Structure formats: structure tokens, C-alpha cells
Chains A and B, each alone.
Chain A
Amino acid sequence: DIQMTQSPSSVSASVGDRVTITCRASQGISSWLAWYQQKPGKAPKVLIYPATSLQSGVPSRFSGSGSGTDFTLTISSLQPEDFATYYCQQAYTFPRTFGQGTKVDVK
């Protein structure tokens, strides 16, 4: 199975901050990586897929980069509605696997 490792597990930030989350795959997955945002009590929402493509309706302050094994999600200027947990997920092969999540909370 492909292991997905996110870092950090949590980050405390303020509105306006730049936030970067990394995701590493245990083997190459080309660009077959998705990023999701999940708020408490809600279903996840896809932000980026594949690796660098912003999904329709997602604010441009979100961006993704990387290919192969190393990927990054960047929020250029954190907004109040961005406090949430973020997950990466590889779509390269079965079983599909997620990172453990990165919680972005208020500093």
C-alpha cells in the first residue's frame, strides 16, 4: 500500500498568514493527488485535483504543487473560513490512501 504522510499534524496561524502543508507518498504517484478540506461535522470538500489543479469554485488563495512523491498545499492568505482540517489522498492505485490530516487552528 502507498503510505501518505502529512506534516505538520497541526498548525496554529492567524488570519492573513501564509500556511503550507506537505504530503509525502511512500512511492511515486505522478500527479495523482487530491487535497480535501474538512470542517467539524461536515463532509470533506475537494480543493485540488490533480496535484496542481484548483477545483471549480475554490478560492485562488489555495494552490497545490509537486509531483512524484512530494506535494504541497499552500494557503496564501488565511481567511477565517479556512480554519479546518486538510487531507491529502493518492488516486494512483488501490487501496486509496489518505494522509493523517493537518489541523489548521487559531493562533
Chain B
Amino acid sequence: EVQVLESGGGLVQPGGSLRLSCAASGFTFSSYAMSWVRQAPGKGLEWVSTVSGSGGGTYYAESVKGRFTISRDNSQNTLSLQMNSLGVEDTAVYYCARNSDGSGKNHFDFWGQGTLVTVSS
């Protein structure tokens, strides 16, 4: 059974940093791109970042480029999101999601339950 489980959310002050993790199981992790998608309270879904299966290709939303870094450890089946210079606009539930295949045109076929990041003083 495919499972992805996020951790690392919490309360952080504006300007601070936080690192999210996602533990994956039930599939060959290195064969799939992985992504982070977020949802601000009461708002819609916003794609944040994607990393290729090998980790060699990374993509970011303009809103987080230069502040967030996505990475993966295929030996540990884990995905990470390092978030720096956090602002109140980054407050959201962050979902870890598996990309459906190795093509460049894929959707998010499995999602975690999400982890809440709150940026507030």
C-alpha cells in the first residue's frame, strides 16, 4: 500500500526556518518524482515544488524560489522541504504528494495527510 507521511510542521516566527519531511513506503521511491503542495487556511491548492526521481531536477513556484529547497534521500525513502525566510503568507497545510509517473506530464496520485505550518509572531 502506497503511503506518504509528513512531519515537521509547527509554529515559527516570521523570518524563521523550518524543515518538513515526508516518509514514503509501499512503492519504489526512486522511480517517482515527488512534490509539495500547500493550502492556506480556507484557500485553494497551490503547488510549491517538485523533485525528479533521481533528485537531479527541481522545480519551484515563484513564490518560494530562493527561500525553499526541496531534496530527497532515495536510500531512506524520504522527501524534505527546507523553508527559510518564512513569512505569514507561507502559513498553510503542506502536503507531500507522489507524482504519478516519470514523464514530464503527470499528476499527484497519492497524498499525505498534510502538516500545518503556522508563521506568526
Which A residues have a C-beta under 8 Å from some C-beta of B? 1, 32, 34, 36, 38, 42-46, 49-50, 55, 87, 89, 91-92, 94-101
Q: Are A43 and B112 in contact (CB under 8 A)?
A: yes
Q: Are A94 and B107 in contact (CB under 8 A)?
A: no
Cβ distance A75 to chain B, nearest Cβ, rounded Å: 19
- Range of interface residues on chain B? 20 to 34
Q: Are A89 and B45 in contact (CB under 8 A)?
A: yes
- Hey, which chain A residues are within 8 Å of B114, CB to CB? 43
A20 to B76, CA, bound (A): 43
Which B89-111 residues sit within 8 Å CB-CB of chain A?
A: 95, 100, 105-109, 111
Cβ distance A21 to chain B, nearest Cβ, rounded Å: 14
Select from chain A the residue with minimum beta-carbon distance to B62: A95
Q: Are B44 and A100 in contact (CB under 8 A)?
A: yes
A6 to B119, CA, bound (A): 29
Complex partner residue of A32 from B44, B50, B105, B108, CB under 8 angstroms: B105
Cβ distance A97 to chain B, nearest Cβ, rounded Å: 7
Q: Are B107 and A87 in contact (CB under 8 A)?
A: no
Q: Are A87 and B47 in contact (CB under 8 A)?
A: no
Closest 9 CB pairs of A and B: A43-B111, A34-B107, A96-B47, A98-B45, A49-B107, A101-B44, A94-B59, A32-B105, A91-B105
- The digit string for B1-41, where 1 denotes a CB below 8 A from any CB of A, is 00000000000000000000000000000000001000000
Cβ distance A52 to chain B, nearest Cβ, rounded Å: 14
- The digit string for B109-121, where 1 denotes a CB below 8 A from any CB of A, is 1011110000000
